[in-house]
Chains A and B, each alone.
Chain A
Protein backbone atom coordinates (compact mmCIF):
# COMPACT_ATOMS: atom_id res chain seq x y z
CA UNK A 1 0.00 0.00 0.00
CA UNK A 2 1.19 3.50 -0.75
CA UNK A 3 0.36 7.03 0.39
CA UNK A 4 0.59 9.45 -2.50
CA UNK A 5 1.02 13.08 -1.47
CA UNK A 6 0.74 15.69 -4.20
CA UNK A 7 1.41 19.39 -3.73
CA UNK A 8 -0.57 21.21 -6.41
CA UNK A 9 -1.73 24.68 -7.33
CA UNK A 10 -5.02 25.41 -5.50
CA UNK A 11 -7.09 26.09 -8.60
CA UNK A 12 -6.20 22.62 -9.92
CA UNK A 13 -7.95 20.79 -7.09
CA UNK A 14 -11.21 20.20 -8.95
CA UNK A 15 -9.41 18.88 -12.03
CA UNK A 16 -7.33 16.50 -9.91
CA UNK A 17 -10.37 15.29 -7.96
CA UNK A 18 -12.26 14.55 -11.18
CA UNK A 19 -9.27 12.78 -12.73
CA UNK A 20 -8.97 10.56 -9.67
CA UNK A 21 -12.67 9.80 -9.67
CA UNK A 22 -12.36 8.79 -13.33
CA UNK A 23 -9.87 6.06 -12.43
CA UNK A 24 -11.91 4.86 -9.47
CA UNK A 25 -10.20 6.59 -6.56
CA UNK A 26 -12.88 8.01 -4.31
CA UNK A 27 -11.13 8.70 -1.02
CA UNK A 28 -9.01 11.79 -0.75
CA UNK A 29 -7.70 14.14 1.96
CA UNK A 30 -7.05 17.79 1.15
CA UNK A 31 -4.84 20.06 3.22
CA UNK A 32 -4.23 23.78 2.68
CA UNK A 33 -0.52 24.44 2.83
CA UNK A 34 1.93 27.08 1.79
CA UNK A 35 5.36 26.77 0.39
CA UNK A 36 7.72 27.55 -2.41
CA UNK A 37 10.17 25.80 -4.66
CA UNK A 38 11.40 27.60 -7.69
CA UNK A 39 8.31 29.79 -7.98
CA UNK A 40 9.04 33.24 -6.64
CA UNK A 41 6.75 35.06 -4.25
CA UNK A 42 5.35 38.56 -4.64
CA UNK A 43 5.60 41.98 -3.02
CA UNK A 44 2.88 43.65 -1.01
CA UNK A 45 2.77 47.30 -0.05
CA UNK A 46 0.92 48.74 2.95
CA UNK A 47 1.36 52.49 3.39
CA UNK A 48 5.02 52.55 2.58
CA UNK A 49 5.84 49.25 4.25
CA UNK A 50 6.87 46.82 1.54
CA UNK A 51 6.93 43.09 2.26
CA UNK A 52 8.21 40.25 0.12
CA UNK A 53 5.89 37.30 0.57
CA UNK A 54 7.80 34.11 -0.29
CA UNK A 55 5.20 31.57 0.65
CA UNK A 56 2.56 30.73 -1.89
CA UNK A 57 -0.69 28.98 -1.07
CA UNK A 58 -0.79 25.40 -2.28
CA UNK A 59 -3.04 22.37 -1.82
CA UNK A 60 -1.71 19.03 -0.62
CA UNK A 61 -3.75 16.05 -1.77
CA UNK A 62 -3.25 12.71 -0.01
CA UNK A 63 -4.53 9.41 -1.35
CA UNK A 64 -3.86 5.95 0.04
CA UNK A 65 -3.99 3.30 -2.69
CA UNK A 66 -3.04 -0.30 -3.24
CA UNK A 67 0.23 -0.86 -5.14
CA UNK A 68 -1.26 -1.73 -8.58
CA UNK A 69 -3.00 1.65 -8.78
CA UNK A 70 0.04 3.79 -7.98
CA UNK A 71 1.22 4.47 -11.52
CA UNK A 72 -2.29 5.28 -12.73
CA UNK A 73 -2.81 7.70 -9.86
CA UNK A 74 0.49 9.43 -10.50
CA UNK A 75 -0.35 9.83 -14.17
CA UNK A 76 -3.85 11.11 -13.44
CA UNK A 77 -2.64 13.68 -10.94
CA UNK A 78 0.23 14.80 -13.14
CA UNK A 79 -1.94 15.34 -16.21
CA UNK A 80 -4.66 17.12 -14.28
CA UNK A 81 -2.37 19.37 -12.24
CA UNK A 82 0.14 20.37 -14.88
CA UNK A 83 0.02 23.89 -16.35
CA UNK A 84 3.52 23.90 -17.77
CA UNK A 85 4.53 26.90 -15.62
CA UNK A 86 6.86 26.98 -12.65
CA UNK A 87 5.06 26.09 -9.41
CA UNK A 88 3.01 23.12 -10.68
CA UNK A 89 4.12 21.11 -7.67
CA UNK A 90 5.48 17.70 -6.75
CA UNK A 91 4.22 14.22 -5.99
CA UNK A 92 5.68 12.10 -3.21
CA UNK A 93 5.06 8.38 -2.74
CA UNK A 94 5.31 6.84 0.72
CA UNK A 95 5.12 3.26 1.92
CA UNK A 96 2.18 2.61 4.22
CA UNK A 97 2.64 0.04 7.01
CA UNK A 98 -0.97 -0.34 8.01
CA UNK A 99 -4.43 0.99 7.15
CA UNK A 100 -7.50 0.53 9.40
CA UNK A 101 -11.10 1.48 8.70
CA UNK A 102 -12.37 2.90 11.95
CA UNK A 103 -16.05 2.00 11.53
CA UNK A 104 -15.60 -1.66 10.76
CA UNK A 105 -12.11 -2.48 11.95
CA UNK A 106 -11.07 -3.79 8.51
CA UNK A 107 -7.35 -3.66 7.86
CA UNK A 108 -4.99 -3.72 4.91
CA UNK A 109 -6.13 -3.30 1.30
CA UNK A 110 -9.76 -3.96 2.40
CA UNK A 111 -9.61 -0.72 4.31
CA UNK A 112 -8.54 1.36 1.32
Chain B
Protein backbone atom coordinates (compact mmCIF):
# COMPACT_ATOMS: atom_id res chain seq x y z
CA UNK B 1 0.00 0.00 0.00
CA UNK B 2 1.26 3.43 -0.87
CA UNK B 3 1.96 5.63 2.12
CA UNK B 4 -0.06 8.85 1.89
CA UNK B 5 -0.26 11.92 4.05
CA UNK B 6 -3.92 12.34 5.04
CA UNK B 7 -5.66 15.22 6.82
CA UNK B 8 -7.14 14.47 10.27
CA UNK B 9 -10.79 13.69 9.35
CA UNK B 10 -9.66 11.41 6.59
CA UNK B 11 -7.23 9.80 8.99
CA UNK B 12 -9.96 9.19 11.52
CA UNK B 13 -12.22 7.72 8.91
CA UNK B 14 -9.44 5.53 7.63
CA UNK B 15 -8.66 4.32 11.11
CA UNK B 16 -12.31 3.47 11.63
CA UNK B 17 -12.54 1.61 8.36
CA UNK B 18 -9.32 -0.24 9.01
CA UNK B 19 -10.71 -1.47 12.31
CA UNK B 20 -13.86 -2.63 10.64
CA UNK B 21 -12.07 -4.03 7.61
CA UNK B 22 -11.61 -7.56 8.92
CA UNK B 23 -15.33 -7.75 9.70
CA UNK B 24 -16.32 -6.30 6.34
CA UNK B 25 -13.84 -8.47 4.47
CA UNK B 26 -14.96 -11.57 6.29
CA UNK B 27 -18.57 -10.81 5.53
CA UNK B 28 -17.81 -10.25 1.83
CA UNK B 29 -15.33 -13.06 1.25
CA UNK B 30 -16.78 -15.91 3.25
CA UNK B 31 -17.35 -18.48 0.56
CA UNK B 32 -20.75 -20.02 0.24
CA UNK B 33 -21.49 -23.18 -1.61
CA UNK B 34 -23.20 -22.81 -4.96
CA UNK B 35 -25.22 -25.84 -5.88
CA UNK B 36 -25.05 -24.95 -9.56
CA UNK B 37 -21.28 -24.56 -9.57
CA UNK B 38 -20.86 -27.74 -7.56
CA UNK B 39 -23.12 -29.79 -9.79
CA UNK B 40 -21.26 -28.63 -12.86
CA UNK B 41 -17.83 -29.23 -11.34
CA UNK B 42 -18.68 -32.74 -10.23
CA UNK B 43 -19.82 -33.40 -13.79
CA UNK B 44 -16.74 -31.73 -15.27
CA UNK B 45 -14.51 -33.89 -13.11
CA UNK B 46 -16.18 -37.02 -14.42
CA UNK B 47 -15.83 -35.75 -17.98
CA UNK B 48 -12.11 -35.15 -17.58
CA UNK B 49 -11.61 -38.61 -16.12
CA UNK B 50 -13.50 -39.99 -19.11
CA UNK B 51 -10.91 -38.27 -21.29
CA UNK B 52 -8.27 -40.59 -19.88
CA UNK B 53 -10.30 -43.73 -19.37
CA UNK B 54 -11.22 -44.57 -22.00
CA UNK B 55 -10.80 -41.54 -24.27
CA UNK B 56 -7.04 -41.24 -24.49
CA UNK B 57 -6.63 -44.94 -23.80
CA UNK B 58 -8.63 -45.93 -26.87
CA UNK B 59 -7.15 -43.15 -28.98
CA UNK B 60 -3.69 -44.56 -28.34
CA UNK B 61 -4.72 -48.23 -28.26
CA UNK B 62 -6.02 -48.06 -31.79
CA UNK B 63 -2.82 -46.49 -33.04
CA UNK B 64 -0.46 -49.24 -31.91
CA UNK B 65 -0.08 -52.71 -33.36
CA UNK B 66 -2.51 -55.39 -32.23
CA UNK B 67 0.10 -57.17 -30.14
CA UNK B 68 0.47 -54.06 -27.96
CA UNK B 69 -3.13 -52.96 -27.60
CA UNK B 70 -3.51 -54.08 -23.99
CA UNK B 71 -0.20 -52.62 -22.89
CA UNK B 72 -1.42 -49.14 -23.75
CA UNK B 73 -4.72 -49.63 -21.95
CA UNK B 74 -2.83 -51.04 -18.99
CA UNK B 75 -0.46 -48.09 -18.82
CA UNK B 76 -3.26 -45.53 -18.89
CA UNK B 77 -5.34 -47.41 -16.35
CA UNK B 78 -2.40 -47.95 -14.00
CA UNK B 79 -1.42 -44.29 -14.24
CA UNK B 80 -4.98 -43.36 -13.33
CA UNK B 81 -4.83 -45.42 -10.17
CA UNK B 82 -1.35 -44.48 -9.14
CA UNK B 83 -1.59 -40.73 -9.68
CA UNK B 84 -4.90 -40.61 -7.82
CA UNK B 85 -3.19 -41.89 -4.72
CA UNK B 86 -0.10 -39.71 -5.13
CA UNK B 87 -2.30 -36.67 -5.61
CA UNK B 88 -4.17 -37.37 -2.39
CA UNK B 89 -1.08 -38.08 -0.33
CA UNK B 90 1.02 -35.06 -1.32
CA UNK B 91 0.31 -33.91 -4.85
CA UNK B 92 -2.66 -31.68 -4.17
CA UNK B 93 -0.98 -30.05 -1.20
CA UNK B 94 2.29 -29.33 -2.98
CA UNK B 95 0.51 -27.96 -6.03
CA UNK B 96 -2.19 -25.87 -4.44
CA UNK B 97 -1.20 -24.70 -0.98
CA UNK B 98 1.03 -21.88 0.12
CA UNK B 99 4.68 -22.84 0.20
CA UNK B 100 5.68 -19.91 2.40
CA UNK B 101 9.16 -18.75 1.38
CA UNK B 102 9.23 -21.21 -1.52
CA UNK B 103 5.75 -20.39 -2.73
CA UNK B 104 7.00 -19.02 -6.03
CA UNK B 105 8.13 -22.53 -6.92
CA UNK B 106 6.25 -25.05 -4.80
CA UNK B 107 3.45 -25.32 -2.27
CA UNK B 108 3.51 -26.73 1.23
CA UNK B 109 2.45 -29.91 2.95
CA UNK B 110 -0.38 -28.50 5.09
CA UNK B 111 -2.92 -30.50 3.09
CA UNK B 112 -0.87 -33.64 2.72
CA UNK B 113 -3.07 -36.73 3.13
CA UNK B 114 -5.86 -34.30 2.26
CA UNK B 115 -5.78 -32.97 5.76
CA UNK B 116 -8.34 -30.20 6.03
CA UNK B 117 -10.19 -31.31 2.93
CA UNK B 118 -13.32 -32.21 4.81
CA UNK B 119 -16.90 -32.67 3.72
CA UNK B 120 -17.67 -29.02 4.41
CA UNK B 121 -14.39 -27.47 3.25
CA UNK B 122 -14.93 -25.06 0.41
CA UNK B 123 -12.75 -23.87 -2.42
CA UNK B 124 -14.51 -20.81 -3.69
CA UNK B 125 -18.12 -21.78 -4.31
CA UNK B 126 -17.54 -25.50 -4.62
CA UNK B 127 -16.50 -28.16 -2.10
CA UNK B 128 -12.74 -28.43 -1.85
CA UNK B 129 -13.10 -32.16 -2.36
CA UNK B 130 -14.49 -31.44 -5.80
CA UNK B 131 -11.77 -28.92 -6.66
CA UNK B 132 -9.12 -31.37 -5.48
CA UNK B 133 -10.57 -34.24 -7.49
CA UNK B 134 -11.00 -32.06 -10.55
CA UNK B 135 -7.35 -31.14 -10.38
CA UNK B 136 -6.52 -34.79 -9.80
CA UNK B 137 -7.97 -35.71 -13.18
CA UNK B 138 -5.61 -33.21 -14.79
CA UNK B 139 -2.68 -34.71 -12.90
CA UNK B 140 -3.79 -38.08 -14.26
CA UNK B 141 -4.20 -37.23 -17.92
CA UNK B 142 -0.95 -35.30 -18.26
CA UNK B 143 1.37 -38.25 -17.59
CA UNK B 144 -0.98 -40.52 -19.53
CA UNK B 145 -0.35 -38.37 -22.60
CA UNK B 146 3.34 -39.22 -22.47
CA UNK B 147 2.52 -42.90 -22.99
CA UNK B 148 2.19 -42.19 -26.70
CA UNK B 149 5.86 -41.41 -27.09
CA UNK B 150 7.26 -44.64 -25.69
CA UNK B 151 4.47 -46.96 -26.77
CA UNK B 152 5.33 -50.51 -27.74
CA UNK B 153 8.75 -50.60 -26.06
CA UNK B 154 8.82 -49.40 -22.46
CA UNK B 155 9.15 -51.63 -19.43
CA UNK B 156 6.02 -51.53 -17.31
CA UNK B 157 7.90 -51.22 -14.02
CA UNK B 158 10.09 -48.43 -15.36
CA UNK B 159 7.01 -46.68 -16.71
CA UNK B 160 5.31 -46.68 -13.32
CA UNK B 161 8.36 -45.34 -11.52
CA UNK B 162 8.92 -42.74 -14.23
CA UNK B 163 5.35 -41.51 -13.96
CA UNK B 164 5.48 -41.31 -10.17
CA UNK B 165 8.73 -39.34 -10.28
CA UNK B 166 7.60 -37.20 -13.18
CA UNK B 167 4.34 -36.14 -11.60
CA UNK B 168 6.18 -35.38 -8.36
CA UNK B 169 9.12 -33.48 -9.81
CA UNK B 170 7.63 -31.94 -12.96
CA UNK B 171 3.84 -31.80 -13.06
CA UNK B 172 3.27 -30.70 -9.47
CA UNK B 173 5.81 -27.86 -9.51
CA UNK B 174 4.64 -26.53 -12.87
CA UNK B 175 1.00 -26.78 -11.80
CA UNK B 176 1.94 -24.76 -8.74
CA UNK B 177 3.85 -22.23 -10.83
CA UNK B 178 0.87 -21.57 -13.08
CA UNK B 179 -2.23 -22.27 -11.00
CA UNK B 180 -1.17 -22.76 -7.40
CA UNK B 181 0.19 -19.33 -6.60
CA UNK B 182 3.60 -19.66 -8.13
CA UNK B 183 5.68 -17.31 -10.24
CA UNK B 184 4.24 -18.02 -13.68
CA UNK B 185 0.72 -17.19 -12.64
CA UNK B 186 2.02 -14.25 -10.66
CA UNK B 187 3.71 -12.74 -13.69
CA UNK B 188 0.36 -12.74 -15.45
CA UNK B 189 0.61 -15.73 -17.74
CA UNK B 190 -2.74 -16.81 -19.11
CA UNK B 191 -3.24 -20.56 -19.05
CA UNK B 192 -6.87 -21.26 -18.43
CA UNK B 193 -6.97 -25.03 -18.60
CA UNK B 194 -3.41 -26.22 -19.02
CA UNK B 195 -1.67 -25.38 -22.28
CA UNK B 196 1.63 -25.23 -20.43
CA UNK B 197 0.85 -27.37 -17.39
CA UNK B 198 -0.60 -30.24 -19.38
CA UNK B 199 0.21 -30.17 -23.06
CA UNK B 200 3.58 -28.49 -23.48
CA UNK B 201 4.66 -30.27 -20.30
CA UNK B 202 3.64 -33.71 -21.53
CA UNK B 203 4.86 -32.88 -25.02
CA UNK B 204 8.42 -32.07 -24.07
CA UNK B 205 8.58 -35.03 -21.67
CA UNK B 206 7.37 -37.20 -24.52
CA UNK B 207 10.09 -35.88 -26.79
CA UNK B 208 12.70 -36.72 -24.16
CA UNK B 209 11.22 -40.20 -23.71
CA UNK B 210 11.25 -40.85 -27.44
CA UNK B 211 14.91 -39.84 -27.59
CA UNK B 212 16.03 -41.73 -24.48
CA UNK B 213 14.17 -44.94 -25.28
CA UNK B 214 15.14 -44.86 -28.90
CA UNK B 215 13.25 -45.94 -31.97
CA UNK B 216 11.14 -49.04 -32.17
CA UNK B 217 12.78 -52.04 -33.78
CA UNK B 218 12.27 -51.72 -37.49
CA UNK B 219 11.28 -48.06 -37.45
CA UNK B 220 10.85 -46.35 -39.91
CA UNK B 221 11.17 -48.94 -42.66
CA UNK B 222 8.90 -51.61 -41.21
CA UNK B 223 5.22 -50.91 -41.64
CA UNK B 224 3.56 -50.29 -38.27
CA UNK B 225 0.13 -49.04 -39.24
CA UNK B 226 -2.53 -48.45 -36.59
CA UNK B 227 -4.30 -51.73 -35.99
CA UNK B 228 -7.72 -50.33 -35.13
CA UNK B 229 -8.53 -46.79 -36.20
CA UNK B 230 -12.08 -47.41 -35.07
CA UNK B 231 -10.81 -47.34 -31.47
CA UNK B 232 -8.81 -44.23 -32.26
CA UNK B 233 -11.84 -42.35 -33.54
CA UNK B 234 -13.94 -43.46 -30.57
CA UNK B 235 -11.15 -42.24 -28.33
CA UNK B 236 -10.84 -38.93 -30.15
CA UNK B 237 -14.57 -38.41 -29.88
CA UNK B 238 -14.52 -39.08 -26.15
CA UNK B 239 -11.65 -36.64 -25.86
CA UNK B 240 -13.60 -33.97 -27.75
CA UNK B 241 -16.71 -34.32 -25.62
CA UNK B 242 -14.78 -34.76 -22.38
CA UNK B 243 -12.74 -31.66 -23.12
CA UNK B 244 -15.78 -29.56 -22.30
CA UNK B 245 -15.16 -30.67 -18.74
CA UNK B 246 -11.48 -29.86 -19.14
CA UNK B 247 -11.91 -26.34 -20.50
CA UNK B 248 -15.32 -25.19 -19.34
CA UNK B 249 -14.66 -26.86 -15.99
CA UNK B 250 -11.54 -24.80 -15.50
CA UNK B 251 -13.77 -21.84 -14.73
CA UNK B 252 -14.66 -23.72 -11.54
CA UNK B 253 -18.14 -22.31 -11.83
CA UNK B 254 -21.29 -22.60 -13.91
CA UNK B 255 -21.30 -19.17 -15.51
CA UNK B 256 -20.88 -17.21 -18.71
CA UNK B 257 -17.13 -17.79 -18.90
CA UNK B 258 -17.68 -21.54 -18.68
CA UNK B 259 -20.30 -21.30 -21.38
CA UNK B 260 -17.97 -19.36 -23.65
CA UNK B 261 -15.16 -21.79 -22.86
CA UNK B 262 -17.34 -24.55 -24.23
CA UNK B 263 -18.17 -22.51 -27.31
CA UNK B 264 -14.57 -21.68 -28.13
CA UNK B 265 -13.54 -25.26 -27.49
CA UNK B 266 -16.09 -26.51 -30.00
CA UNK B 267 -15.15 -23.94 -32.63
CA UNK B 268 -11.40 -24.35 -32.33
CA UNK B 269 -11.70 -28.11 -32.56
CA UNK B 270 -13.98 -27.96 -35.57
CA UNK B 271 -11.64 -25.55 -37.35
CA UNK B 272 -8.66 -27.73 -36.51
CA UNK B 273 -10.28 -30.94 -37.70
CA UNK B 274 -11.16 -29.33 -41.01
CA UNK B 275 -7.70 -27.82 -41.32
CA UNK B 276 -5.96 -31.16 -41.03
CA UNK B 277 -8.51 -32.74 -43.32
CA UNK B 278 -7.91 -30.18 -46.06
CA UNK B 279 -4.18 -30.15 -45.47
CA UNK B 280 -4.04 -33.87 -46.10
CA UNK B 281 -6.38 -33.63 -49.04
CA UNK B 282 -4.17 -31.02 -50.66
CA UNK B 283 -0.88 -32.53 -49.62
CA UNK B 284 -1.57 -36.19 -50.20
CA UNK B 285 -4.60 -36.24 -52.43
CA UNK B 286 -6.93 -37.89 -49.95
CA UNK B 287 -8.20 -36.99 -46.49
CA UNK B 288 -7.97 -39.66 -43.81
CA UNK B 289 -9.89 -40.38 -40.66
CA UNK B 290 -6.70 -40.54 -38.64
CA UNK B 291 -5.88 -37.11 -39.96
CA UNK B 292 -9.20 -35.50 -39.11
CA UNK B 293 -9.18 -37.07 -35.65
CA UNK B 294 -5.64 -35.88 -35.01
CA UNK B 295 -6.53 -32.44 -36.27
CA UNK B 296 -9.38 -32.29 -33.80
CA UNK B 297 -7.06 -33.20 -30.94
CA UNK B 298 -4.58 -30.54 -32.05
CA UNK B 299 -7.37 -27.97 -31.94
CA UNK B 300 -8.44 -29.09 -28.49
CA UNK B 301 -4.87 -28.74 -27.30
CA UNK B 302 -4.40 -25.32 -28.85
CA UNK B 303 -7.59 -23.81 -27.41
CA UNK B 304 -6.90 -25.17 -23.92
CA UNK B 305 -4.89 -22.22 -22.58
CA UNK B 306 -7.12 -19.72 -24.38
CA UNK B 307 -10.47 -21.23 -23.46
CA UNK B 308 -11.18 -18.69 -20.75
CA UNK B 309 -10.17 -15.61 -22.69
CA UNK B 310 -10.58 -16.08 -26.42
CA UNK B 311 -13.73 -15.27 -28.31
CA UNK B 312 -15.44 -17.44 -30.92
CA UNK B 313 -13.68 -16.02 -33.96
CA UNK B 314 -10.35 -16.07 -32.19
CA UNK B 315 -11.03 -19.72 -31.46
CA UNK B 316 -11.36 -20.48 -35.17
CA UNK B 317 -7.93 -18.97 -35.79
CA UNK B 318 -6.39 -20.77 -32.84
CA UNK B 319 -7.81 -24.08 -34.01
CA UNK B 320 -6.56 -23.53 -37.54
CA UNK B 321 -3.09 -22.54 -36.38
CA UNK B 322 -2.79 -25.39 -33.89
CA UNK B 323 -3.71 -27.99 -36.47
CA UNK B 324 -1.60 -26.44 -39.19
CA UNK B 325 1.62 -26.45 -37.21
CA UNK B 326 0.91 -29.84 -35.65
CA UNK B 327 0.36 -31.21 -39.16
CA UNK B 328 3.76 -29.96 -40.26
CA UNK B 329 5.42 -31.22 -37.09
CA UNK B 330 3.88 -34.70 -37.09
CA UNK B 331 3.93 -35.47 -40.79
CA UNK B 332 7.00 -33.61 -42.02
CA UNK B 333 9.43 -32.60 -39.28
CA UNK B 334 9.23 -35.89 -37.41
CA UNK B 335 9.84 -37.88 -40.58
CA UNK B 336 12.66 -35.54 -41.53
CA UNK B 337 14.39 -35.69 -38.14
CA UNK B 338 13.80 -39.39 -37.75
CA UNK B 339 12.90 -39.68 -34.07
CA UNK B 340 10.23 -42.15 -33.06
CA UNK B 341 7.62 -40.21 -31.12
CA UNK B 342 5.34 -43.13 -31.83
CA UNK B 343 1.97 -41.50 -31.38
CA UNK B 344 3.00 -37.90 -32.04
CA UNK B 345 2.73 -36.55 -28.51
CA UNK B 346 5.34 -33.85 -29.12
CA UNK B 347 4.04 -33.14 -32.59
CA UNK B 348 0.45 -32.67 -31.48
CA UNK B 349 0.44 -31.78 -27.78
CA UNK B 350 3.78 -30.05 -27.68
CA UNK B 351 3.53 -28.02 -30.86
CA UNK B 352 -0.19 -27.22 -30.76
CA UNK B 353 0.24 -26.43 -27.07
CA UNK B 354 2.96 -23.89 -27.83
CA UNK B 355 0.94 -22.34 -30.65
CA UNK B 356 -2.11 -22.11 -28.42
CA UNK B 357 -0.20 -20.69 -25.48
CA UNK B 358 1.29 -17.91 -27.58
CA UNK B 359 -1.96 -17.09 -29.39
CA UNK B 360 -3.73 -16.97 -26.02
CA UNK B 361 -1.92 -13.70 -25.50
CA UNK B 362 -3.19 -12.36 -28.80
CA UNK B 363 -6.82 -13.38 -28.72
CA UNK B 364 -7.43 -12.46 -25.11
CA UNK B 365 -7.51 -8.86 -26.28
CA UNK B 366 -10.98 -7.37 -26.35
CA UNK B 367 -10.38 -5.89 -29.80
CA UNK B 368 -10.10 -9.44 -31.11
CA UNK B 369 -13.18 -10.68 -29.34
CA UNK B 370 -11.49 -11.81 -26.18
CA UNK B 371 -12.42 -11.22 -22.59
CA UNK B 372 -9.85 -8.47 -22.33
CA UNK B 373 -6.24 -8.26 -21.26
CA UNK B 374 -5.20 -7.06 -17.83
CA UNK B 375 -5.33 -3.33 -17.23
CA UNK B 376 -2.44 -1.66 -18.99
CA UNK B 377 -1.34 -4.82 -20.77
CA UNK B 378 -0.76 -4.88 -24.51
CA UNK B 379 -0.95 -7.82 -26.87
CA UNK B 380 2.80 -7.70 -27.36
CA UNK B 381 3.33 -7.59 -23.61
CA UNK B 382 1.02 -10.51 -22.98
CA UNK B 383 2.54 -12.55 -25.80
CA UNK B 384 5.95 -12.00 -24.23
CA UNK B 385 4.68 -13.28 -20.89
CA UNK B 386 3.13 -16.26 -22.66
CA UNK B 387 6.44 -16.92 -24.37
CA UNK B 388 8.23 -16.90 -21.03
CA UNK B 389 5.76 -19.37 -19.55
CA UNK B 390 6.26 -21.65 -22.55
CA UNK B 391 10.02 -21.37 -22.24
CA UNK B 392 9.94 -22.12 -18.52
CA UNK B 393 7.85 -25.23 -19.11
CA UNK B 394 10.03 -26.45 -21.94
CA UNK B 395 13.30 -25.89 -20.11
CA UNK B 396 12.35 -27.16 -16.69
CA UNK B 397 10.09 -29.92 -17.95
CA UNK B 398 12.52 -30.99 -20.62
CA UNK B 399 15.60 -31.10 -18.44
CA UNK B 400 13.87 -32.70 -15.46
CA UNK B 401 12.20 -35.35 -17.64
CA UNK B 402 15.53 -36.11 -19.24
CA UNK B 403 17.21 -36.53 -15.86
CA UNK B 404 14.53 -38.88 -14.59
CA UNK B 405 14.62 -40.94 -17.77
CA UNK B 406 18.38 -41.22 -17.85
CA UNK B 407 18.43 -42.11 -14.17
CA UNK B 408 16.01 -44.95 -14.80
CA UNK B 409 17.86 -45.99 -17.92
CA UNK B 410 21.13 -46.52 -16.07
CA UNK B 411 19.59 -48.09 -12.98
CA UNK B 412 16.74 -50.44 -13.86
CA UNK B 413 16.61 -49.94 -17.62
CA UNK B 414 13.66 -48.47 -19.44
CA UNK B 415 13.29 -50.56 -22.56
CA UNK B 416 12.03 -54.11 -23.02
CA UNK B 417 14.28 -56.70 -24.64
CA UNK B 418 14.26 -57.23 -28.37
CA UNK B 419 12.46 -60.54 -27.95
CA UNK B 420 9.76 -58.92 -25.82
CA UNK B 421 9.35 -56.12 -28.29
CA UNK B 422 8.97 -58.56 -31.18
CA UNK B 423 6.58 -60.83 -29.28
CA UNK B 424 4.49 -57.86 -28.26
CA UNK B 425 4.07 -56.31 -24.84
CA UNK B 426 0.63 -57.79 -24.22
CA UNK B 427 2.01 -61.31 -24.04
CA UNK B 428 5.53 -60.45 -22.92
CA UNK B 429 4.64 -58.11 -20.06
CA UNK B 430 1.06 -58.99 -19.18
CA UNK B 431 0.50 -62.62 -20.26
CA UNK B 432 -2.56 -61.55 -22.17
CA UNK B 433 -3.77 -61.27 -25.73
CA UNK B 434 -5.94 -58.41 -26.84
CA UNK B 435 -7.82 -60.42 -29.44
CA UNK B 436 -8.70 -64.06 -29.14
CA UNK B 437 -10.48 -64.57 -32.43
Contact = CB atoms under 8 A, between A and B. Distances in A.
A46 interface: yes
Interface in B30-84: none
A47 B62 CA distance: 14
A53 interface: yes
A34 to B, nearest CB: 13
26 contacts: A44-B223, A44-B225, A45-B280, A45-B284, A45-B286, A45-B288, A46-B225, A46-B226, A46-B288, A47-B290, A47-B291, A47-B294, A47-B330, A47-B331, A47-B344, A48-B330, A48-B331, A48-B332, A48-B334, A48-B335, A49-B220, A49-B224, A49-B225, A49-B335, A51-B223, A53-B223
A45 B291 CA distance: 10
Contacts of B332: 48
A46 B335 contact: no
A36 B290 CA distance: 27
Contacts of A44: 223, 225
Interface of B: 220, 223-226, 280, 284, 286, 288, 290-291, 294, 330-332, 334-335, 344
Secondary structure call for the B interface: helix
Contacts of B331: 47-48
Contacts of B334: 48
Interface string A2-41: 0000000000000000000000000000000000000000
Contacts of A49: 220, 224-225, 335
Interface of A: 44-49, 51, 53
Contacts of B288: 45-46
Contacts of B330: 47-48
Contacts of B286: 45
Count chain B CB atoms within 10 A of each CB in A46, A47, A53 and give the residue with the most. A47
Nearest to B329: A48
Contacts of A47: 290-291, 294, 330-331, 344
Contacts of B290: 46-47
Contacts of B225: 44, 46, 49, 51
Contacts of B220: 49
A53 B222 CA distance: 11
A53 B284 CA distance: 17
Nearest to B288: A45
A35 to B, nearest CB: 17
The 7 residue pairs across chains A and B that have the minimum distance between CB atoms: A48-B331, A51-B223, A48-B335, A46-B225, A47-B330, A46-B290, A47-B331
Contacts of A48: 330-332, 334-335
A79 to B, nearest CB: 34
B279 to A, nearest CB: 11
A44 B229 CA distance: 13
Count chain A CB atoms within 10 A of each CB in B220, B223, B290, B335 and give the residue with the most. B223
A48 to B, nearest CB: 3
Contacts of B280: 45
A69 B280 CA distance: 54
B48 to A, nearest CB: 26
A26 B108 CA distance: 79
Nearest to A44: B225
Nearest to B284: A45
A47 B333 CA distance: 12
B220 to A, nearest CB: 7
Contacts of B226: 46
